[in-house]
Structure 1
Amino acid sequence: MGRGVLNPLSVGAQHMLIKRKYLFGTTILAGVVALAAPAFAQSQLPGVTVQGQSDEAADQLSDVVVTGSRIRRDPVNSPTPLIQVTGEQLQTTGQSTIIDYLATIPALSNSLVPSDTTGSGLNDGGLSFANLRSLGTGRTLVLVDGRRHVGAAQGNLAVDVDSIPRLLIENIEIVTGGASSVYGADAVSGVLNFTLRRDFEGLEIDANYGMINQDGQANKRISALGGINLLDDRLNLYAFAEYEDIDMVESMDIDWLRDSRALVGIDADPTNAPNDGMLDSAVFSGLTTLSRPRWGQTTLANSQQPSPLNDPDVPLASCTALTSANCYSLDPLKTYVYEGSTARLANFGQRIGNTGSNRTLNIGGDGENPSRFGQDSRVPESTSSRYQVGANFAITENIALTAEYKYVEEDTFDIAQPTFFDIFLSDSTYAANWTNPIRATSQFDLRLDNAYLPANVRTAIQTNTVTNYTANTATPGTPATTTARAWARHSMFGPDRSQDNHREVERYVIGLNGGFDQLAFIKNINWDLSYVNGEARNQNIERGVDVQRFALAADAVVDTAGAVNGRPGEIVCRAKLIQATSGDLDDYFRGGLLTDSVEGTRALNECVPLNVFGAGNQSEAALAYVDAAITVTHVNQQEQAVGAVSGQLWDFWGAGAIGVAVGAEWRREYTEGVGRSATTGDRLLFLNTGADFLGAEYESEEWFAELSLPLIRDSWLGEYAEVSGSYRAFDYTTAGDGDVYGVNFVYRPIRDITFKASLNTSFRAPNLGENFSPFSQTFANGYVDPCATLNIAAQNTEIRTNRIANCQALLNQYNSANGTALAYDFAGTTATNTDDFNPIYSSGIAGVTGGNSNLRPEESESFTFSVALEPRMFPNLQLILDYYEIEITDVISSVSAQTMSNLCVNGPTLDPQTCGLLFRNDPTAGREFYLGAASGDPIGGFIQSSINYAALQTRGLDFTLRYSLDTEEAFGWNLGRFNYSLGGLWLIEQKQFLDPANAASFTELSSGVFYPRVRMTSSLTWVPNDTWSVNWSVDWQTAQDSARIRDQMSNLDSRPYDTYDTGDFARHDFTVRANLRDDLSIRFGVVNAFDAEQPAYLGTTTYSNFDPYGTRFFVGLNYRPF
């Protein structure tokens, strides 16, 4: 058995077999019940059909190749569950893109729509990736006419489905279950096959204007397809062109984000009494925050009085060091905001939230909407041009040539979270004739003689004192000694970080295919040879700031003598004044002096003073000086050559001829990404810097075979039965060799009902990015330390016990390595919390992310069982039940710093794999044992990489009901025709096994946010005559748990009861279509007619399954002049 095959007798497989015995019976029972009560079934999207037809319809079809097999057969006998989406529906839907529509199909929930790929990653703004069964975009194989398509993101094979020409799409076939034995790697959860139109003749123009957000942002598209037949219809030539323009949607364009709603902490429980009867949180709207406004607020060093231990809303947090976050809690008497060149104490309005020493939220008063700065662009601005030309030529009766060329060009622009800085103000860290120290990418110091610092703020800092408090007991902490602390911290968001992306995709396909009646004992022979060459090119301009220039520019002073430019009283950069007089030009980034390097010298000579105190005070010259950009160009290349032949052997017992197919495949994947290192140069940038991806590739050689064996036909045992199998052996230059297989069974006892079952093993080879991407800088934002005493107390008993022991073990290692004697009460058992470990991370933690060349292939096993019912007693009724289960092992996953930190300490003992990638080396006073490292450390606080450590399991039941009613036939009076469909998914389980220390431990996602237990799409179309049709569609989802009550049994007052789940969600869409002439039709409608939106307490994260964009309208036309 090869390395890539799954052992069917594994523990997971045995569990699956037990489940199958249960589901086999219940699925049949559900089908029988559905015959008696057809109203209890699932519907389907307009234009979506599920494979399975009546015999009368099947008699009109010749044998064809359907997705899931290479053997030609009657589509009714397709061996796997098959969902089809028609090209017509893609044109007429109110959804603006292909992926937006596909993501409403329950089987494709959690596909990545443009809003999901905007703002958070690099080089991927606006990309669209299908995600079958929510198992990951890299585990869904996307084909075009059965052939591979080059991946869009660097080193990744996931296909941007919106790059596929819309008007050319005949249909999309969706197959659930592993299909690697037929199509090769990556078909772990299944296959999406885009089948394109052939032999098109004439001209078709389609145009659409659709709002993508209720504030008016829109998608404008025009498409054209022309074709002609020549040489007695032996030659067909076609050409396609499309232009699409999409407006940017920013956070403040979305009404519920403008409302600024959130679940806010209002009470903290004692460690030993987590359920004190007072709600710990409540939902508020209209929130603003003063924590980090654009261009900042300044807070003087202070200390907050800790609450009594029986109501510990405010913990003890003593101010002991300039850079300690404990010193800078927002305080109405210590926090200043800026208006023009002046400053005043901040207006806190109605302060919201009672927990923590730093309470940042208020209603009214000063501050900004917290939705604004998490992510600016929710949908990128983009323009796209797509072209495809092709030819289909019948060279002889038995040989045909296919050729096509596609070119796609797309430009996108999006804005991510702005740059952010903590600037420490004091006269204690450097002298007036020194350059200012840079502590980290987002931290540096300024002196109090800064030219732009308002005089009242300077005076307040100079006279500031701090009173720390004694430990809180049954009573609040009491004031201790008051100490002079001329310290302040200026916290700010600065210039935007943006990405300007230019993408190009080229794809060439050439193929020969043909057939002949018989060769020796093989009949109905069909053969196919094809070669595909695809290339995706991406140039991304990533814009941020030069941190060293920003720090030098912010350190502005008054040149009283005019030493720099001969103008006394001019505001200049301190570094230039030092250069003109005398002093220390230390380079805190490179070491040595600024004048020792080219970039340091340029930064010094070109320095323009920058006012960082208050929005609107920045000169264009200063912003231009600190601006920085890097340009990265990446390339994905793909080559695929496939040869296959299929035919029919003998018919031994009258059930039908044995079908066979054999073939071979060769494939090459290559990727590179260059420019990041060269354009970063010798600069300290607030950008994702790192090494270039200098190029990596792999090749694969694969051999495959299929066999179908009809068992009965028109027998007393039933109308038809067939068993079929497939096998593939592979050899990868990176992942090694192995094999996979599939077994299928089809049984139709009577014409009304068909049963299908399949068992498949599949594999996914590590992609080039997972294997070989170089280390680059990244940040862990919003990090929650799993060793914090308060966080430990909030866990269940098992994890709490493990974390207490493991965090103590980590602390022992830290003390041993650093010669320290730190001691913390991780259990929170002592009467005081002065010895608790409750770190405050005020900004993102720097680390690196990169590839892992030691990855193994992922392996999977899938099982499906289907019942298709078309009862003669109910004409025009179809009911389909498709059960599936998929298990994936050795899952390759990029583990975040947060996940690694949790995995490190959650198990019975420390996990060496994840703990070894984390570094608690922050040397800053008051931050010992924090995750992090010293400024300039090449690694930082963590190494984020992909590892084979996880497993995934999912089970579900697709259900589909379709019914058509002609009122004239049914009732004798003509009200037109009604077509109804209901299609949905009952998600039985969706498990993630993410704990390497405990293989049986899992997280159940089903019924959680993004994973509704049941999702259904209902469609009712009324066709009163040949001209008009009206459609009403509903996307309905059951309530999803935002927090599981079972996990909160010891703390039932943690939140209001109605915030434990989202409540049921329903989006209603209406479409009207009119065929005005034979050659002209128009369509118009409304999406999300009743403005359904996600619940307030989910915060500012957009959950695309809830439709974040409100009520919007669309209009389109289709014109076919000839």
Structure 2
Amino acid sequence: MSETTANADASDAVSEAGTGAGIVVTGSRINRPNVTAAAPITSVTSEAIRAQAAVNIEEVLNRIPQIAPDSQQNYQDSDGRQRIKLRNLGFERTLTLVDGKRLGTMNGIDANMIPTALIQRVDVLTGGASAVYGSDAVAGVVNFIMNDDFEGIQINGNYNLYAHNNKAGLISDVAGQYGFGSPARNFATDGGRVDLSLTAGTKLFDDRFHISGYVNYRKAALVPYSARETSGCQLVETVKDGPLTCSTSTYTPYGYISPRSGASNGNAYVNNPNGNGTLVPFTDALAANPYDGYSFQREAERWNAGGFASFKISDAAEVYANAMWFRDRSSNPYPARALSYTAYGESPYVVNCNNPLMSQSQAQTICGDLAGTAATAPLEVRYRFANVPDIEDVYLNKGLRITGGLRGSFAEGWSYDVGGVYARNRQATTWGEPDFDRVNNSLNVVNVNRTLTCASVVNGTDPNCRPFDAFSPRSTINDSALYDYLVEGNFGTSTTINTLYNGIATVQGDLGTYGIKSPWAEQGVAIAFGAEYREDKLKSFADEIWREQNGGSDAALSQHVWEGNVELQVPIIERKKFAHLLQFNGAYRLSKYSSNPDTFSTWKAEALWAPVADITFRGSINRAQRAPTVVEAFQGSNISYDRITTAYNDICAPTVTYVTDPRTGVRTAVYGSPTASREVCAATGLADNLYGSTSLVCPDEVGCTVRRGGFAVDPETAYTKTFGVVLRPRFVPGLTFSVDRFLIDLNDSIGYNDYDYFSNGCLATGDEFFCRMFVRNADGTLYSAPGGNPSTGFIRGGTTNYYKSKSHGWDFQGQYALSLGSAGRLDFDFAGSLTTYAGGQDSPILAKYNCTGYYGGGCSQLIPKWTHSLRGTYTTADRFFSASVNWRHLGPLTNVSNSGDPALGYTQAGERETFYRIGAYDYFDLALSFRVTEAFSFRVSANNILDKTPPILPNSYNYGLSRSNTLSARYDSLGRILAVGATLNF
């Protein structure tokens, strides 16, 4: 039950994939059955995926040490899509493939469209692979190899749930001070998830035609924050090492009221919880828990479907195609509320002072002397409704990916593959909120024949209006009907469509057929030529309601690229003394993007030397480049302007202080020296005679100008080096072990920096890197008339190439298979990663920083120095039963406040005494499998079998964008998982 493989030789992988034209070798377009991998590859097999009881792809990937964990299912603000991040270098720097071809556009990828039941293995190649696959493969490649040769009928099912013991702890103690409910001492069984797949396939016409298809259904139940003691409230620490509090909300079911006129103007009240019709001062004791209903596990429902087909006409021509389709609906719940008027603008709500829902005391507080009259008074109302469904932020993702082509051999030793990919991902986001005018109408209530009625119903302006009793705790009015009225028809939708058109042609040949080979080698030189065209399109639009509530504008973006590449494998020595194998591999690619005037190139060079069969040394160097995504390219080229009226003055202009004469009120400008030196100002392109000139001062009515866009964003460049050794000692049969050093250095990284980044950097250093962003007019000024699209008179800002990122470390992999004879066998699989450097340098004036082992500040990737996974599996000789135990280890993390490194933001005054360290975490998983018959197998498993509670951190949103008081992407945050599964074959 192999989970990882050192993969010094890819022949095992090839044997799994089958033989012939369909072979997939990750990291190469040359499909040699005995190809040897010069770069380390980690693989996860289908057996390991079943042992994990994985329902979706993210659960498979999060256990691979080289992949930065990402848990979209436990992320409240997720858009429902799963992307992959290698070496902590960002989603956009990892290329995701299915059977060697792109899954989709970088902006539209959703890896969860891949059904886990059909995955044959997952290959993870870390390090640059742009020369083979094109842009995006800066950090590496994740290649999903599918079972496209399936025969028969298979039903596969998994069901799992959480079984967690909520023990009373820190959160219970703090939440109890606010009267927030807590699930402490409650054994929770929740969060059920189901994954069902039906797969069928057959071969016809003497096995020349193969067709298979699948349908996959997944569903996950909501687990709210309130279901866990550890997320009973959002823990807040406002002062370092200070007292702990809970986040509170004025949106209380008691009803928050604040008059906006009269003697009580600005005072904050809530309706007395005892319901006696009085207002009492608002305090934290009467506040609400704002996040109790948030998703700890998001509710989601997904359908995946697809199929594979191939028809071998002859050795010279095989037609192939496959399709993948999905529909996924997920949602984030938010409390159903009547929002503050400040959410809409500056005009308060108004209430009629003779509103029968107000008591005399309430009317007196809100209206003063006008109480009981038909006059209106302005007020603030905030209300959390009771007994109504939460409002939902809904994401509906739909996608289609079709690949196809023609492949075969056309001469002795030569083959071809001409095909392409069409991928389309459509995401519709729907969100709504109560309508301001309807809230206002519902507060204007009169008594008509002893029936409480909106005044707007009486006068006919809004016949659907429902009275809003904002003056009672937990309103006795039909909350559901009222809330439906407030939000009905007020949900807007924003839609984004990402489309990929990708054509690929590859011709490969074994030149050994023609005698072109080294005199000391058995194999000949292998070569592959390729040509590729890709076009990425992004279209976004929204309905009128969305635009009214959220602003923005429609967009239609596009960029394309033409590429050509060549790849070479040259065995130099084989099976000789002191050289069981000596081989060189190389690749080169030229790319021309429509978004950039220049052509750029990438390349790789690899070498392997095995002095004996037991030991192989390997090394590679890659020059990988990532062109900007279609969004980044648009941000770089699309021109927009901004005025800086009060926040900025030209660093080369005199400082300005305004003095007002108290007698006359006349305002006079007093000028001082510029903040920058003459040398720095010269670096910005300012003539020496204009230094300190008052003409450089940005006029109040104009302000200095910032121009964002109008410039090409160049590709970022990464140099990836790997050096390692693979051991397969003959004196220990069944053992394979590898150690690899990786060094990824990314230059000219693409990112967003506004004008102040460049202005402050220029002021501090005078370096061209910063100062060239000043684009002055001939008279030296930095203000212009944007309407004419000026070419001078501004400071640049926006998406640009800036500085450096690095990821360095060691990878360790091992496998050991031990035969026990008639008693069965033992298999051990190990994968570990030691990160020595994860950081970089954000600009020439800033120090290099290393976030390995730290969290907080700028270290948001949460990278322990050491992580590993070790799985041991026992299988009986008849393969009826297997038992597998997995040990997952995460090294400790320390807050940057206690790092001792000023480059990470450390200061002695900021050093913490509490909540500054997360100790090492160890998780243990158990899986039992029973092959009852050849056609039926059954399995049970438990992940995090000891139900280890995740680490607790106040202000967790600042560290991991989670309000659950932990780092849910890194740790098992919901507790123990119990799973059952079965596979039935016909």
* TM bracket, shorter-chain basis: 0.7 to 0.9
The answer for the alignment partner of 2:950 in structure 1 is 1094
Residues 261-276 of structure 1: matches in 2 within 5 Å?
Answer: 262=235, 264-265=237-238
2:924 and 2:946 in contact (8 A); partners too: yes
Amino acid at match of 2:256: Q
Amino acid at match of 1:654: W
The answer for the alignment partner of 1:1042 in structure 2 is 895
Amino acid at match of 1:181: A
2:570 and 2:584 in contact (8 A); partners too: yes
The answer for the alignment partner of 1:236 in structure 2 is 210
SS of the aligned residue for 2:328 comes to strand
Shift of 1:398: 2.9
Tell me whether 1:369 sits opposite 2:289 in the alignment. Answer: yes
Tell me whether 1:69 sits opposite 2:23 in the alignment. Answer: no
Shift of 1:395: 0.6
Q: Matched residues in 2 for 1:69 and 1:46: separation?
A: 23
The answer for the alignment partner of 1:196 in structure 2 is 146
Shift of 1:539: 3.2
SS of the aligned residue for 1:85 comes to strand
The answer for the alignment partner of 2:833 in structure 1 is 985
Residues 207-356 of structure 1: matches in 2 within 5 Å?
Answer: 207-211=157-161, 214=164, 215-258=189-232, 260=233, 262=235, 264-265=237-238, 280-282=241-243, 287=246, 289=248, 291-293=250-252, 296-298=255-257, 338=273, 342-343=277-278, 345=280
Summarize deviations over 1:71-92 as a string: whole Å, max 9, x none.
2335562122111111232233
Q: Which has the higher strand share?
A: 2
Distance 1:282 1:743, change over 3 A: farther
SS of the aligned residue for 2:519 comes to coil
Residues 904-919 of structure 1: matches in 2 within 5 Å?
Answer: none
Summarize deviations over 1:576-614 as a string: whole Å, max 9, x none.
89x89xxxxxxxxxxxxxxxxxxxxx7x67654434454
Amino acid at match of 2:925: D
The answer for the alignment partner of 1:859 in structure 2 is 717
The answer for the alignment partner of 2:83 in structure 1 is 129
Shift of 1:715: 3.0
Amino acid at match of 1:638: L
The answer for the alignment partner of 2:425 in structure 1 is 536
- Between the aligned residues of both structures, percent identity stands at 22
Shift of 1:68: 1.0
Amino acid at match of 2:571: P
Summarize deviations over 1:1057-1109 as a string: whole Å, max 9, x none.
4x211111122211111111111110111121122232222443442211111
SS of the aligned residue for 1:1089 comes to coil
Distance 1:340 1:913, change over 3 A: farther
SS of the aligned residue for 1:1081 comes to strand
1:907 and 1:998 in contact (8 A); partners too: no
Amino acid at match of 1:670: K
Q: How many residues align?
A: 846
Q: Matched residues in 2 for 1:244 and 1:56: separation?
A: 32
Q: Matched residues in 2 for 1:534 and 1:191: separation?
A: 18
1:251 and 1:372 in contact (8 A); partners too: yes
Tell me whether 1:1013 sits opposite 2:970 in the alignment. Answer: no
Distance 1:1111 1:180, change over 3 A: same
- Choose from 329, 334, 358 the match for 1:411: 329
The answer for the alignment partner of 1:140 in structure 2 is 94
The answer for the alignment partner of 1:625 in structure 2 is 485
The answer for the alignment partner of 2:781 in structure 1 is none
Amino acid at match of 1:541: T
Shift of 1:696: 2.0
Tell me whether 1:711 sits opposite 2:572 in the alignment. Answer: yes
Q: Matched residues in 1 for 2:757 and 2:223: separation?
A: 35
Shift of 1:418: 6.5
Tell me whether 1:739 sits opposite 2:601 in the alignment. Answer: yes
SS of the aligned residue for 1:252 comes to helix
2:762 and 2:770 in contact (8 A); partners too: no
The answer for the alignment partner of 1:381 in structure 2 is 299
The answer for the alignment partner of 1:83 in structure 2 is 42
- Choose from 498, 503, 517 the match for 1:641: 503
Shift of 1:571: 5.6
Distance 1:460 1:1080, change over 3 A: same
- Choose from 962, 977, 984 the match for 1:1112: 977
Distance 1:1006 1:902, change over 3 A: farther
Q: Matched residues in 2 for 1:238 and 1:283: separation?
A: 58
Q: Matched residues in 2 for 1:851 and 1:371: separation?
A: 39
Q: Matched residues in 1 for 2:354 and 2:485: separation?
A: 19
Q: Matched residues in 1 for 2:299 and 2:257: separation?
A: 35
The answer for the alignment partner of 2:673 in structure 1 is none
Residues 672-821 of structure 1: matches in 2 within 5 Å?
Answer: 672-676=539-543, 678-680=544-546, 683=548, 685=549, 688-693=550-555, 695-736=556-597, 737-772=599-634
The answer for the alignment partner of 2:125 in structure 1 is 175
Shift of 1:1001: 5.1
- Choose from 1061, 1064, 1070 the match for 2:920: 1064
SS of the aligned residue for 2:946 comes to coil
SS of the aligned residue for 1:665 comes to strand
Amino acid at match of 1:985: S
Residues 35-54 of structure 1: matches in 2 within 5 Å?
Answer: 46-52=2-8
Summarize deviations over 1:222-264 as a string: whole Å, max 9, x none.
1121111111111111121112222122222334112x36352
The answer for the alignment partner of 2:693 in structure 1 is none
Q: Matched residues in 1 for 2:912 and 2:252: separation?
A: 28
2:70 and 2:969 in contact (8 A); partners too: no
Structure 2's unaligned 5+ residue stretches are 165-188, 370-376, 639-646, 661-665, 671-706, 774-795, 856-860, 957-962
Summarize deviations over 1:382-402 as a string: whole Å, max 9, x none.
222222122221111232111
The answer for the alignment partner of 1:654 in structure 2 is 520
The answer for the alignment partner of 2:819 in structure 1 is 966
Amino acid at match of 2:825: R
Shift of 1:370: 4.9
The answer for the alignment partner of 1:585 in structure 2 is none
Shift of 1:335: 6.7
Shift of 1:702: 0.7
The answer for the alignment partner of 1:206 in structure 2 is 156
SS of the aligned residue for 2:82 comes to coil
Shift of 1:206: 0.6
Distance 1:954 1:1003, change over 3 A: same
Distance 1:813 1:1086, change over 3 A: farther
The answer for the alignment partner of 1:1030 in structure 2 is 883
Summarize deviations over 1:204-226 as a string: whole Å, max 9, x none.
21111111574412111211211
1:450 and 1:557 in contact (8 A); partners too: no
1:399 and 1:514 in contact (8 A); partners too: yes
2:751 and 2:802 in contact (8 A); partners too: yes
Answer 1 or 2: higher relative contact order, Cα 8 Å, separation at least 6: 1
Tell me whether 1:444 sits opposite 2:348 in the alignment. Answer: yes
Tell me whether 1:553 sits opposite 2:441 in the alignment. Answer: yes
Summarize deviations over 1:324-351 as a string: whole Å, max 9, x none.
xxx87xxxxx776645573554696xxx
SS of the aligned residue for 1:1105 comes to coil
The answer for the alignment partner of 2:394 in structure 1 is 500
Q: Which moved more, 1:1073-1082 or 1:644-653?
A: 644-653
Shift of 1:195: 1.5
| TM-score normalised by L of structure 2 | 0.76
The answer for the alignment partner of 1:937 in structure 2 is none
Amino acid at match of 1:228: T
The answer for the alignment partner of 1:313 in structure 2 is none
Residues 863-902 of structure 1: matches in 2 within 5 Å?
Answer: 863-893=721-751
Distance 1:1013 1:715, change over 3 A: same
Distance 1:516 1:913, change over 3 A: closer
Amino acid at match of 1:190: G
Shift of 1:757: 1.3
Distance 1:62 1:715, change over 3 A: farther
Q: Matched residues in 1 for 2:12 and 2:103: separation?
A: 36
Amino acid at match of 2:277: T
Summarize deviations over 1:1000-1048 as a string: whole Å, max 9, x none.
4546354336211111112122224421111111221111123431268
Summarize deviations over 1:339-386 as a string: whole Å, max 9, x none.
5573554696xxxxxxxxxxx5xxxx543335427xx22333222222
Structure 1's unaligned 5+ residue stretches are 1-44, 267-278, 302-319, 329-333, 349-359, 424-437, 465-485, 519-523, 581-601, 777-786, 788-802, 823-848, 918-942, 969-973
SS of the aligned residue for 2:48 comes to helix
